[in-house]
Structure 1
Amino acid sequence: MSHIETDLIHSGKAFNETRSVIPPIYQTATYFADTNPEEYLKAATEARHPYFYHRHGNPVSSQTAELVARLEGTEAALLTATGMAAVSTAVLSIVKAGDHVVAQRSHYSAASVLLKEVLPQFGVEVSYFDQSDNSSLDAEIRPNTALIYVETPSNPNLAITDLAYVGALAREKGITTVCDNTFASPINQRPGDFGIDIIVHSATKYLGGHSDLTAGVICGTSAAVNKAWKKMLSLGGALAPFDAWLLLRGLRTLSLRVKQINANALALAQWFETHPLIKRVLYCGLPSHPQHELARRQMNGFTGMLCVEIAGKDEQEQFTRAQTVLNSLQLFANAASLGGVESLVVHPASMWGLHHSPEQKLKAGINDGMLRISVGIEHEEDLIGDFEQALGRI
């Protein structure tokens, strides 16, 4: 059995039927019909066939999906146009009117909108649990619960969900589980190893790694992925050929990038803990994280995502100081998204303000003095130095 680093270079080669070392971009919407009627019928009806019509499949998409499935340890995978296309397609392929969904309280904001606003429009009820308290999940299970939806580490507060507990409980109750693994990446965590049924990613982030594409991935059994594929045919969230090719290229260096990012993030988090103007550091790789031991049990690395809370006499001063730091950083760009080779920083209370009430922000652990940091592959001393000079301007 080959190692991840080797799989990233060589998995899925069977879909490249040319003599090109790097697969070509299949920039076509449709393909010539096979002269054999049986073969054409197969292409038209087989799930994810790469040579019929682009919404059905694409050779580079097939190669990339096989690679991601290999990384996650699942039977199959499906590429989608965005991360939210992956989330919504996966969820809508599972639930129907009258079903109940249990989701954790802290989520990516767009996923929260799907859960809070979209699903109820289709007669699906959603209730929430505290992901740091397993007993709170038990309390939300109902006879009609069809799905448990989790995200770990969560965005933006870096809370950890006990995947083994969720997986075992769901199997016992006959409930399907979906985990958003974007923050971790399959280098740091494989939810399927803990009994999770379906894994979704915003491949825009770590999998692509260069902030030059948008994409999503759904991973699971062949049956689950084919069901999601059929739903995607109606929803229309197929990934464009060029983005599929860019994603495949980005995946080649995933292991190298994530290892460097992990090391940089830990060094930066450790430095933050020593700084008097930092009130709190949230990084699951630190022993001070309340769920550090759980993170150690289910993660191989602790990602490049961390949050810090700027100190201040009250939240207004914290907000002002956070904005001063944000505007003073020179290497860290103030930009949405995460997981690229470049370091980014955002102010979650501002970003989440559109989707969350003050009460919801409080429940999600979002403070006005909080900064969410996505650490890149730059040298750790330069990253620390950038925050040092920015904090010095307070």
Structure 2
Amino acid sequence: MSKKKQGLNTICTHVGEIKDEQFKGAVSPIYLSTSYEFDGVDVKRYPRYFNTPNQEFLAKKIAALEHTETAMIFSSGMAAISHMFLAFLQKGDHIVVQNTLYGGTSNFIREEFHKYGIDYTFTNGYAVSDFEAAIQSNTKLIHIETPSNPLLTITDIKGVADLAKSKGIVTTIDNTFASPVNQNPIDFGIDIVMHSATKYLGGHSDISAGAVASSAAHMDRIWNVSKNLGGNLSDMTVWMLERSMKTLALRVKAQNKNARKLAKFLDKHEAIARVYYPGLKSHPEHQLAKEQMHDFGAMLSFELVDGIDAMAFMKQLNLIKPSMSLAGVESTMLLPSKTSHSLLTQEQRDAVGISDQLIRFSVGIETFRDLKIDIEHAIINTKTTSFA
């Protein structure tokens, strides 16, 4: 059976595993060496060259999941995205960046690009026309994020890819929120896909990693930069990530199911002013999400009505953890204004619609009823405290 015809769970479980030829173990062995022979070998291996055995084979799994020729593993999502950008941008170049974007990426662009003489434009919106309006004669890259963090906006992947190809511009996408289980941007014409592998690929809140997947030609450019910047991941963590990804499809599908139910529950609740979730028919890009996603994902955001303090609400949660990061098997919530987008100014947050009442909800695999009860309990107790 060819890899292209293998099922998702089969790819997660078996592609990229290293055969234990010596002891015939069921799982991949770990190669922790930082020094390998250089004479008489097919590959001169060195950790900073991203080609140790565990790195090489895990890259095959990620490439198979994202339908690309190859992939690379990094020490974090920011390492992945920064190396990716710097591989395709140099002094005098220009990048068009979606305005609804992860705060860390926005901050990196604003804080670092001027040092390299790289120009950038954040779009006024996330329609294809917004990207077209921002293109300049020296534009070399267009970067999108869909669903976006934390407002779950949906960008037309094929529309942006087609626009870029017509002008000879490379496209990149942050596919973290969707995961390769829910979305495969390469199939719609995107050139390079990146992930914060800390999130769904790791899935257990115990790994920091990043990943980039693309064609071999694009990856050569990324590798040439990355070998100098040194953002490789330790092989122990690479092994842990490969182990975690065996259950990727199972985890994400369970989380998707919970998120759909919770979004509908929150959307009808009197204490919730608004829910951001592409699976709701009321979402402005619901139809587009149906066309380019296999499922709607396990991330959602919601705003509490005025009078219910968001931080007080989170302190009343018992099961759901008020915690940084996302995509673990456990459900977590956070305030983007205090965490993921805290590096932005109040004015910048207001411009992209991130209020102090906004809560980002990473839905886990717990029983739906228990999550619902925990939210209801927190709302009731916060109301009592707020209006006492």
When normalised by structure 2's length, the TM-score is 0.94
Given candidates 324, 328, 331, the residue that maps to 1:340 is 328
Given candidates 54, 68, 88, the residue that maps to 2:47 is 54
Q: Quick check: 254-263 or 6-15, which moved more?
A: 6-15
SS in 1 for 2:48: coil
Q: Partners of 1:183 and 1:352 in 2: how far apart? A: 14
Deviations 1:188-247 (A, max 9, x none): 000101100000000000001101110000100011112212211111000111110011
Structure 1: stretches of 5+ with no match in the other structure: 45-51
After TM superposition, the runs of 4+ consecutive aligned structure 1 residues lying more than 4 A away are 14-18
Count of equivalent residues: 376
Distance 1:16 1:182, change over 3 A: farther
Q: Partners of 2:12 and 2:58 in 1: how far apart? A: 10
Q: Partners of 1:291 and 1:154 in 2: how far apart? A: 12
- Matched with 1:359 is 347
Q: Partners of 1:243 and 1:14 in 2: how far apart? A: 15
Query: 1:163·1:196 contact (CA, 8 Å) conserved in 2?
Result: yes
Q: Partners of 1:342 and 1:274 in 2: how far apart? A: 24
- Matched with 1:43 is 43
Q: Partners of 1:173 and 1:14 in 2: how far apart? A: 41
Q: Partners of 1:226 and 1:63 in 2: how far apart? A: 17
SS in 1 for 2:353: coil
Deviations 1:285-328 (A, max 9, x none): 1001111111111001111111110001xxxx45xx21121100
Q: Partners of 1:173 and 1:364 in 2: how far apart? A: 28
RMSD over aligned CA atoms reads: 1.3
Given candidates 143, 148, 172, the residue that maps to 1:149 is 143
Paired residue type of 2:362: S
- Matched with 1:369 is 357
Paired residue type of 2:363: V
SS in 1 for 2:338: helix
Query: 1:105·1:363 contact (CA, 8 Å) conserved in 2?
Result: no
2:25 counterpart of 1:24 = no
Q: Partners of 1:131 and 1:92 in 2: how far apart? A: 24
- Matched with 1:190 is 184
2:358 counterpart of 1:389 = no
Query: 1:75·1:220 contact (CA, 8 Å) conserved in 2?
Result: yes
Structure 1 position 353, deviation (Å): 5.7
Query: 1:15·1:62 contact (CA, 8 Å) conserved in 2?
Result: no
- Matched with 1:140 is 134
Given candidates 64, 67, 71, the residue that maps to 2:61 is 67
Distance 1:366 1:111, change over 3 A: same
Query: 1:74·1:192 contact (CA, 8 Å) conserved in 2?
Result: yes
Structure 1 position 60, deviation (Å): 1.3
2:242 counterpart of 1:234 = no
Structure 1 position 14, deviation (Å): 5.8
Distance 1:111 1:224, change over 3 A: same
Q: Partners of 1:353 and 1:100 in 2: how far apart? A: 24
Identity level (%)? 41
2:7 counterpart of 1:7 = no
Q: Partners of 1:288 and 1:180 in 2: how far apart? A: 24
SS in 2 for 1:177: strand
Q: Partners of 1:219 and 1:352 in 2: how far apart? A: 24
Given candidates 76, 98, 109, the residue that maps to 1:104 is 98
When normalised by structure 1's length, the TM-score is 0.93
Q: Partners of 1:8 and 1:147 in 2: how far apart? A: 31
Structure 1 position 128, deviation (Å): 1.2
2:167 counterpart of 1:173 = yes
SS in 1 for 2:141: strand
- Matched with 2:247 is 253
Q: Partners of 1:346 and 1:352 in 2: how far apart? A: 9
Distance 1:131 1:208, change over 3 A: farther
Q: Partners of 1:30 and 1:364 in 2: how far apart? A: 48
Q: Partners of 2:21 and 2:176 in 1: how far apart? A: 31
Paired residue type of 1:78: M
Query: 1:15·1:60 contact (CA, 8 Å) conserved in 2?
Result: no
Distance 1:17 1:231, change over 3 A: farther
2:9 counterpart of 1:33 = no
- Matched with 1:47 is none
- Matched with 1:284 is 278
Deviations 1:266-302 (A, max 9, x none): 1111000111010000011100111111111100111
